[in-house]
């Protein structure tokens, strides 16, 4: 199917696909597949095609700020607090948990403060803005390290080069079903926070935020979002 049609001054023109950034691949990640299914449906209802681009978090942030990306998916509600040129879509797509993973039977207090003043080396994925912010408030710099991918974080745990890896639950749990991680001792040791995930638009596309919010609300109410999340789980379990 070609790009959606629009009409201007009596002639038909084609609307270019929006370039939408995500840190989660599809296939290969429940989070990525769920986001792709939900947002392709949402933008289809708006008559707008999208092109999903998988990027490291820091790079996606830079490209959204400069307008090279039209939108980015699955950021925290407060992500835009110090990024005034970005516009958050008011309605979230789905809820996720920030979780601490380890290979050792650690006992941590629930919440982010469970990682405060503990003698542990903690990893997170570079470009995960909320995770970085919360950890830097609690974990000494010498004990805090950024890795370039979720896989790298899990591999460091298995190699004994870190004690804790922090990431959103949906992204890690789908990887733990893969053959290379399925039989490993990696486990959840603490839920740090439950949070909604949001889409953000660049400055030039802010007008799309309100219509997209209405569509996401409608998809939740009519059961579409729930069905698509089940479909993503099924696809990623194969």
Q: What is the rounded distance in angstroms from the CA atom of residue 69 to the CA atom of residue 18?
A: 8
**For residues 115 and 106, is the Cβ–Cβ distance under 8 A?**
no
Q: Where is the domain boundary, 195, 211, 226?
A: 195
* pLDDT at residue 39 is higher than 90: yes
Residue 179 sits in the same domain as residue 219:
no
Residue 101 sits in the same domain as residue 190:
yes
Give the whole-number percent of the chain exceeding pLDDT 90. Answer: 75
Residue 30 sits in the same domain as residue 86:
yes
Residue 218 sits in the same domain as residue 104:
no
pLDDT at 29: 85
Residue 66 sits in the same domain as residue 105:
no
Q: Which residue has the tokens 């953000």?
A: 200
Which residue range(s) make up the domain with 133? 96-195
Look over the chain and give the mean of its residue pLDDT values, rounded to a whole number.
91
Residue 105 sits in the same domain as residue 130:
yes
pLDDT at 235: 87
Residue 167 sits in the same domain as residue 126:
yes
* pLDDT at residue 137 is higher than 50: yes
Residue 231 sits in the same domain as residue 158:
no
Residue 54 DSSP symbol: E
pLDDT at 11: 41
Residue 72 sits in the same domain as residue 83:
yes
Number of domains comprising the chain: 2
Q: pLDDT digits over 164-213, tens only?
A: 999 999 889 888 988 899 899 999 999 999 999 999 999 999 999 999 99
Confidence of residue 1 (pLDDT cuts 50, 70, 90): very low
CATH number at residue 11: 3.40.190.10
Q: pLDDT digits over 3-34, tens only?
A: 443 434 444 334 789 999 999 988 878 999 99
**Tokens linked to 190:** 């603490």
Residue 126 sits in the same domain as residue 60:
no
Q: pTM score, two decimals?
A: 0.80
What's the first-to-final CA gap in the chain, in angstroms?
A: 28
**For residues 123 and 159, is the Cβ–Cβ distance under 8 A?**
no
């Amino acid at each position: 199917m070609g790009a959606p049609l629009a009409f201007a001054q009596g002639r038909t023109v084609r609307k270019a696909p929006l370039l939408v950034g995500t840190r989660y691949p599809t296939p290969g990640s429940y989070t990525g597949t769920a986001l792709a299914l939900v947002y392709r449906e949402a933008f289809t209802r708006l008559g707008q095609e999208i092109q999903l681009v998988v990027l490291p978090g820091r790079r996606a942030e830079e490209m959204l700020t400069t307008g090279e990306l039209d939108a980015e998916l699955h950021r925290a509600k407060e992500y835009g607090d110090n990024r005034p040129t970005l516009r958050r879509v008011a309605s979230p797509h789905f809820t996720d948990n920030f979780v601490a993973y380890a290979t050792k039977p650690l006992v941590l207090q629930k919440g982010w403060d469970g990682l405060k003043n503990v003698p542990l080396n903690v990893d997170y994925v570079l470009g995960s803005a909320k995770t970085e912010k919360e950890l830097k408030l609690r974990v000494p710099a010498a004990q805090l390290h950024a890795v370039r991918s979720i896989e790298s974080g899990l591999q460091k745990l298995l190699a004994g080069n870190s004690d804790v890896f922090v990431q959103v639950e949906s992204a890690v749990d789908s990887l733990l079903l893969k053959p290379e991680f399925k039989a490993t001792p990696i486990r959840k040791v603490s839920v740090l926070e439950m949070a909604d995930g949001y889409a953000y638009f660049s400055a030039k596309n802010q007008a799309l935020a309100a219509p997209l919010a209405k569509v996401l609300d409608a998809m939740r109410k009519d059961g579409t979002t729930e069905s698509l999340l089940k479909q993503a789980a099924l696809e990623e379990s194969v």
